[in-house]
Amino acid sequence: MIKVINVVGAIIIKDNKILCAQRGEGRALSYKWEFPGGKIEENETPREALVRELNEELKLEVSVEPEPFECTTYDYDFGTVTLTTFCCEIVGESEPVLTEHVAVKWLAPSELIELDWAPADVPAVEKLMMTR
């Protein structure tokens, strides 16, 4: 039976640039770039999961747009991931603090394609490049 994993990702926009986060070593998709976020826990809405994950992973407080930006399903060797991305803004003046990722970059939408993205994130990257 294939494991289904529901996750959320944050398209954090600041000064017309988008926050990109690089996964660490020893995890699935090591060193791939992604929109930060994580698994949706039981009894949690996608937006609640995103707020929690960004606080845990990057020590950021964000406001999350009400509607998803993109929803993608991708079959990895470890399971099927359904990724829902939301556009977000940082609340206040805080900066990301790396607790799980090895690097972050702020890139213009036209620069996003330069990174080696996790496959589930690619449709949102492509949509951002066309719409921003």
Question: What are the domain boundaries of the chain?
Answer: 16-71+80-130
pLDDT at 1 over 90: no
pLDDT digits 0-9 by tens, 10-64: 999 999 999 999 999 888 899 999 999 999 999 999 999 999 999 999 999 999 9
Distance in angstroms (rounded) separating the CA atoms of residues 101 and 68: 23
pTM over 0.85: yes
Transcribe 83-101 into DSSP letters: EEEEEEEESTT-----SS-
Instruction: Give buried/exposed letters for 43-53 (b at 16+ CB in 10 A, else e).
Output: ebebbebbbbb
Q: The domain 16-71+80-130 is classified under which CATH number: 1.10.1370.30, 3.20.20.80, 3.90.79.10, 1.10.150.120?
A: 3.90.79.10
